[in-house]
Structures are given as structure tokens and as C-alpha cells.
Amino acid sequence: MALDSKGYKRKTYDDLLTDMSAKAKQYFGENANVSERSILGILLRIMAWFLSLAWQDNENVYYSAYRKTAEGAQLDMLLPYAGITRNLDQYSFGPLEITGTPNHLVSAGFLVSNKTDVFFETTENVTLDSFGKGIVEIKAVELGSVGNVAANTITEIVNPDADVISVTNISETKGGREKETDLEARERASITVEGMGSATTNAIRTNLLKIPSIRAATVIENYGDVPDAYGTPKRSIQAFVLGGTNEDIARAVFEKKAGGIQPYGTTYVDVIDDSGNPQQVGFTRAVEIPIFIKVALNTNSSFPSDGTEKTKSVLIRYIGGTDIDSTVFAGLNMGEDVIESRLIARTYQVEGIEDVSIQLSTDGINYSESNISIGLQEVAQVEANNIEVTINV
């Protein structure tokens, strides 16, 4: 039986061919020729190949029913049972300064680009001031991290206007990201199911992590009669959060906190309750701990040409931070230590790596092969520029 108390076991092409050959000999005699060049052998191999595809489909159907093994659209259908949906790819946004004729109106949809033909358009009309200057928001034409570009690089005018002399993005464009991968969606779903319900610290944390712009969060409570080590007053809670807007954070905390419990923090926001009265909700911004990494690799001929970039990416996805293409990943949660051995294991995901050693630092000066301890109110973050990869020949 394919399905029993131990789960589903798919028959492979070789399994099917062996069984079918044995059955053929049972009916046609032990001397029946089932070799790959005989008529009977060829027919058996054709049938075994098509049957192996059916078995593979059955296995995929079996595993698509479980969140930890489902993929693609099947996973999307299961995520709402964990209280979330997949984060889709996002456009990049940023400010554009336009210089031209004073008091000239530049209509929304004005198209600009950088030197590598990444295109942006203005999202609203803007009238240049008496000095011929105006600032307007631009949005990338394409979805994804391709729209995250550095400041002062968007200088090309795509649809010329005689009254527009020059353009430049006065700061980097950001917010663009790729569609959340299956692995990222599963990990986020695992966190959210821990905090179903209300009035618990897990429930508050789950509600915070449902906000796409929040990258990490933790919530503590003080049962004692004196303030704790983090300044939390007695009979209070304190949320430590990385990312998100003040309003979104305060609303998420207020929705799940227990009645009569003070949400304490260094930042306070008024949230309007169901009766129309403002309620002060406090939370504290997380302390980001910068991580610097030195990676030494021994590779073979299968190491890809972009292996250095892939190595950096797998480390950033695990720890959390900003990748080479400016995509921001959540990575480790608040208070989770950076474990060297786990980073080494992640590095082996890149093909062609035979051996690896990793050194870690929090200041970019003093490196060691020791783990980095992260406090409860802290979160580790790494930038692509802070990872140095050396390939030993």
C-alpha cells in the first residue's frame, strides 16, 4: 500500500518496472524476455514511465494538504488558516526633484529612468515653484527589488518636456521587493499560529508580525511589583519592534492586549477605542545590532560565477537585513543569537562549496569564530557590504 500509518510512499519508475516485469514473468513464464530491447520490455518501460508520473502527482496531492510541505498556489490556500496571506512583490518609491521653468505644471505619469533603464513615473501632478524647483513622489514601473536604486542616479528624462531641464532622486528609492518565497511564508505562518487568540504576549507578537513592514517583534510582561530590567512597570507589557509605522504598531498592540493592562514603551501613540476615546499605547523600538562577516570558501568547478553574491544572500536571508539588490529580509527574530555553525550550514546551500569558515564581528574590527549574543530588546541585522567573501584557490 502506498498510504499507511507512516504516511505516503511513492513508487519510483524503477520500483514500477521491477513489479511489472515480475508480473509479466508470472503470466508469460519465467523465460519471458523483459529486457529493454524486447517488445514486451519496451511496452513495460513505456507503461512504467507514465505510471510513475501518476504516482508523482498523487504524492504531490498528498503533501499539498499540509502547510509545511505545500508549495505555490496550494500553500497560498493554506496560509489563511494561519491568519496570514503571502506578501506579494512590491513597487519601489522615492522622492524626485525636478528643475525647470518656474510655475510649470508637470503632470502625473512623467517618465524618468537611471542609466541602466530602470523606469519610474511620477504619482501626482507637481507645480514648480518660483525658483523652478519641485519635489514629487515617483514609483517604479516594474515590481520587485529592481526599483531600489541609490540616490542621485535617476537622472534621465524619458519623455522630454521643454520646460523640464533636469531631474534627480534626492534619496534612494526603496520598498521594492520580490514575492515572498514559500520558505519565508511557511516560517511566518509558523510564528503566527503560535499566537492565535488574544490577551497573551504571543497573540500581540503575532498581530505585530502580520504587518508586512514589521521585520521582528517580541513582547514581554512584568508580573512583579517593581520595574523590570527593561523599564517595564509592574503589571505592564512592553513590545519591542523593528520596522513598521508608529500608528500600525500601536493599533496592533491595542487590538490584542488584555483589558486593564498598560502597554508601556519609549514611544506612545493615541489609539481610538470602540467608544471613540483615545487610549495611549506604548512600545519600544528595537536596538539593531550590526553584524559583520568574513567568509573563507574552498570551492570546486561547480561553484557558479555569481557564487559570491549567492553566499551573501543566503546569510542575509538567515540573519536579516538588506541584500545586494536592496531587498530587506526579516531573518532572525528579536533576541535570537547569531550562531556561527548555523551560518556555515546555510552557506552550503550554494552549489560548489567544499569547505567554509566564518568569522563574526559587531564592529567590523574585532572578528572571531564565536557566536554573537543578542539581547531581548535587540535584533541582529547585516548589510551586503558588511560581508566579505574570500575564495581560496
SS (H, E, C) 277-327: CEEEEEEEECEEEEEEEEEEEEECCCCCCCHHHHHHHHHHHHHCEECCCCC
Cell of 110: 512623467
List the one residue out of 305, 280, 387, 392 whose CA is nearest residue 338. 387
Question: Which residues 6+ apart lie within 8 Å of 229 measured at CB?
Answer: none
Return d(Cα 204, Cα 258) in angstroms, integer: 10
Q: How far apart are CA 167 and CA 151, in angstroms?
A: 12
List, in order of start, the domains of the chain with CATH numbers: 10-82 (no CATH), 93-169 (no CATH), 194-285 (3.30.300), 289-392 (no CATH)
CA proximity to 247, closest of 202, 201, 200, 214: 214
Quick one: pLDDT at residue 369? 93
DSSP assignments along 113-181, one per residue: EETT--EEEESS-EE--TTSEEEEEEEESS-SGGG---TT-EEEESS--TTEEEEEESS--B--BPPPP
Interval 14-37: pLDDT, tens? 999 999 999 999 999 999 999 999
Is the per-residue pLDDT at 227 higher than 80?
Answer: yes
Q: Look at residue 224 in the predicted model and tell me its pLDDT.
A: 84
What pLDDT sits at residue 181? Answer: 86
Output the pLDDT for position 93.
93
C-alpha 248/C-alpha 275 separation (Å) is 19
How far is 179 from 111, CA to CA, in rounded Å?
A: 25
Task: Tell me the per-residue pLDDT of 290-339, one tens digit each, with 9 for 90 and over.
Answer: 999 999 999 998 999 999 999 999 999 999 988 887 778 888 888 899 99
Judge contact between 216 and 231, C-beta under 8 A. no
pLDDT of 381 strictly over 90: yes
**Range with the lowest mean pLDDT among 107-111, 139-143, 180-184?**
180-184
Please, are residues 242 and 215 in contact by the beta-carbon 8 Å criterion? yes
**pLDDT at 1 exceeding the cut of 70:** no
Question: Residues with Cβ < 8 Å from 368, sequence gap 6 or more?
Answer: 359, 360, 361
**Could you tell me the pTM of the whole model?**
0.61
pLDDT value for 390: 93
Q: What is the per-residue pLDDT for 194? A: 59
pLDDT (average), residues 55-61: 92
**Does the structure show a pLDDT above 80 at 190?**
no
- Residues of the chain above pLDDT 90, percent: 67
Q: Which DSSP string do the residues of 46-107 spell out, in sequence order?
A: HHHHHHHHHHHHHHHHHHTTSTTT--HHHHHHHGGGGT--PPPPB--EEEEEEEESTT-EE-
Give whole-number Cα distances, 43 to 30, 46, 49, 178, 189, in Å. 18, 5, 10, 46, 47
β-partners of residue 7 are: 4
Q: How many residues does the chain have?
A: 393
pLDDT at residue 195 greater than cutoff 60: no
Q: pLDDT tens digits for 110-168?
A: 999 999 999 999 999 999 999 999 999 999 999 988 899 999 999 999 989 999 999 99
Decide if pLDDT at 197 tops 70: no
Res 179: pLDDT: 87
Residue holding cell 560581508?
A: 387
What's the confidence (pLDDT) of residue 196? 60
The 8-class DSSP code of residue 393 comes to -
**What pLDDT is stored for residue 348 in this prediction?**
93
Max distance between CA atoms of the chain, in angstroms, equals 99
Tell me which residue of 210, 198, 267 sits closest to 238, measured CA to CA.
267
Cell numbers standing for residue 202: 504571543
Over residues 51-70, mean pLDDT: 92
% of the chain exceeding 70 in pLDDT: 97
For 156, list phi and psi in degrees, rounded to 5. -95, 130
Average pLDDT of the chain?
90
**SS3 of residue 356 by DSSP:** strand
Backbone angles phi, psi at 359, to 5 degrees: -120, 145
Which cell is 8 given? 505516503
How far apart CA 298 and CA 344 sit, in angstroms, is 13
Which pLDDT belongs to residue 379?
A: 92
Within a 13 Å sphere around the CA of 72, how many CA atoms are in the beta-carbon half?
Answer: 4
- pLDDT band at 393, cuts 50/70/90? low
